[in-house]
Chain A
Amino acid sequence: MSRKLVIDPVTRIEGHGKVTIQLDDDNNVTDAKLHVVEFRGFEKLIQGHPYWEAPMLLQRICGICFVSHHLCGAKALDDMVGVGLGKGIQMLPTPEKVRRLGHYAQQLQSHVTAYFYLIVPEMLFGMDAPPEQRNVLGLVEQDPALVKRVVALRKWGQELIKTVLGKRMHGISSIPGGVSKNITVEERDRFLNGEAGLLSIDEVIEYAQEGLNLFYHFHETHRQQVDSFAVVPALDMCLVNDEGNVDYYHGRIRVIDENKTIVREFDYHDYLDHFSEATEEWSYMKFPFLKELGREKGSVRVGPLARMNITQSLSTPLAQAALEKFHAYTNGKSNNMTLHTNWARAIEIIHSAELIKALLNDPDLQQDQLLMTPGDNDWTGEGVGVVEAPRGTLLHHYRANKEGEITFANLIVSTTQNNTVINRTVRSVAQDYISGNAEITEGMMNAIEVGIRAYDPCLSCATHALGQMPLEVSLYDVGGKVVDKQRR
């Protein structure tokens, strides 16, 4: 008799997910799905609001990657008022650099949260350790000195976000055509040199390098586990600059295959020509795909692993050295090992810190030209913004009427882009860990959780949901009856 397993909710993931696993008569996995069961609402909620509210309001989808939503919305509004990249107008240097500074600070802070708070405990305690130990509070008990450094790193990122965006959370500084403030010398020097209770940028880079070393050590001692866990092929996608290297704030969308051949490359303003979104009755999260390639072949992976697969080089020295090692490991082919996402994430922590250092030393941050003012006839009433958020490519698209009220909003967030590949990962883990078993064990639950968490998915963002969400795994027989169910 075939059976179906259900895991619900997925812990330590932003949002509420449920996993169902279908078993056949011999307890072999025949299918596995991640169901996202949250209410979707922000695209509707924004309609009727003044256009300038969009970057302020829509960032409230998330308490983690709010800067990405804010900047993505701001880029869309640049287009809408007629001074954006949609018309090929480059932003003034100071506002672009201020926005980038906030963006890199967000990436640092978000990656540090995912990596040190959620993933490092898994590496140090093992995937099989009980959940109550396998988290950052377990780490507090085991290695308080490490946690003290991590707290200092996150605090530094938060302080920088507050300085650049005006608030610790849900900032207000990016406005149509630019930013509302620059960075003073005093503000800059706090972050360059540090002060009592605040790291210097060189200490941040040093701690980031220590984080990467933790991965190297774990990989050396658990190579087989890390390399064989959920090896999932996918197309990779991210924004690239003219040299074909990742650009977290602006660029063209590039999609590559396993051989790193460019499958598609296009201006993100044309995304509707290339992407379609499928829906399933069992999940609120949509399934975007490249139209010409179809639903299965045209699904993409975004985020740290995709970006490190696509980029040929990184512009900062320590990150570049780490990238060379990362590329050499797969002999120049795309890396499809899901747990190597954590390697890629650790590289990006270093890269963010180094990019921040370069910007802090850039005198353009203190210049006064902060805003491009559109002419009376420049209003276009439509805008598209895309950035590389910590979890991957993020898109906001708005239209407004002549009165400036939003009439249409479409958000494609990184977790949504990853929907198909996350489902493939769940299926791969289920086949490896669950096949042959008729009941759900702690080890199975952990493995599925680890697989999903590698993407650091934000299910709240992906469904634009309200509220909090917790992993439920259910086991179904062929008749649709739940024969086992575990909740965490």
Chain B
Amino acid sequence: MINSDVKLNGLSLADFNRADCLIYGIGNVGRQDDGLGWAFIDWLEAEEVCPEAETVRNYQLFLEDADLISNKTRVLFIDATKDPSVELFLLQPVSARLDFSFTSHAISIPSIMATCQLCFEVQPEVYVLAIRGYEWALQEGLTDSARSNLDQAIAHFSRQG
């Protein structure tokens, strides 16, 4: 499944190029393909794509991210996915939902959004770009397959302009 399967009303990266937008890479570059989220941010910054947006790299989401997104109107999270139904990458909107997924090591994007809504009484538009990864061992560097998926995601967004 790739981006074209999802209707985003023609949304492109240019729509995130504003100071009130946040682009948030989730992952760990020391865990092979878990570094996909950060790698996408690396590309944005190297190519000066969306220079106006705030970019963030983190290992995981924190409840405090509800506060962070409360100051934004549009947010894009980029994360690696193990989901085999995602062939290359997938961009989709996310809805707020308390899914009670909290542990001190992890919390979901829908729960962050619901916390934002309930605690801060605002709700930005939120999207997640999931890029398919394959290996999560203790090693730096993406696998060739994951790198290829990243390149295709980048090419897709580059074409959009």
Contact = CB atoms under 8 A, between A and B. Distances in A.
B67 A11 contact: no
Interface stretch (A139-147, A292-300, A400-408): A139-147
Given A140-B115, A147-B119, A197 B100 contact: no
Residues of B contacting A: mostly: loop
B63 A117 contact: yes
B48 interface: no
B43 interface: no
B119 A137 contact: no
Contacts of A154: 62-64
- A-B CB proximity, top 3 nearest: A132-B100, A148-B119, A144-B118
A14 B105 contact: yes
Interface in A121-148: 132-133, 135-138, 140-141, 144-145, 147-148
Nearest to A141: B98
B127 interface: no
A16 to B, nearest CB: 11
B121 to A, nearest CB: 8
A413 B104 CA distance: 19
Given A151-B119, A158-B64, A138 B104 contact: no
Interface residues of B, number: 25
A169 B105 CA distance: 13
A141 B118 contact: yes
Contacts of B64: 151, 154-155, 158
Contacts of A155: 64, 67
B111 interface: yes
6 contacts: A136-B102, A140-B118, A140-B119, A144-B119, A151-B119, A158-B64
B148 interface: no
A117 B102 contact: yes
A427 to B, nearest CB: 25
Nearest to A117: B104
Contact of B102 (A135, A169, A197): A135
Contacts of A151: 63-64, 66-67, 115, 119
B104 A468 contact: no
Interface of B: 58-60, 62-64, 66-67, 71, 98-105, 107, 111, 114-115, 118-120, 138
Interface residues of A, number: 32
A415 to B, nearest CB: 14
Nearest to B103: A12
B32 to A, nearest CB: 14
Contacts of A12: 102-104
A152 B62 CA distance: 12
B105 A136 contact: no
B148 to A, nearest CB: 27
Nearest to B99: A137
A118 B104 contact: yes
A470 to B, nearest CB: 8
A226 interface: no
A466 interface: yes
B100 A152 contact: no
A300 to B, nearest CB: 25
A152 B107 CA distance: 17
A117 B105 CA distance: 12
Contacts of B102: 12, 117, 135-137
A137 B98 contact: yes
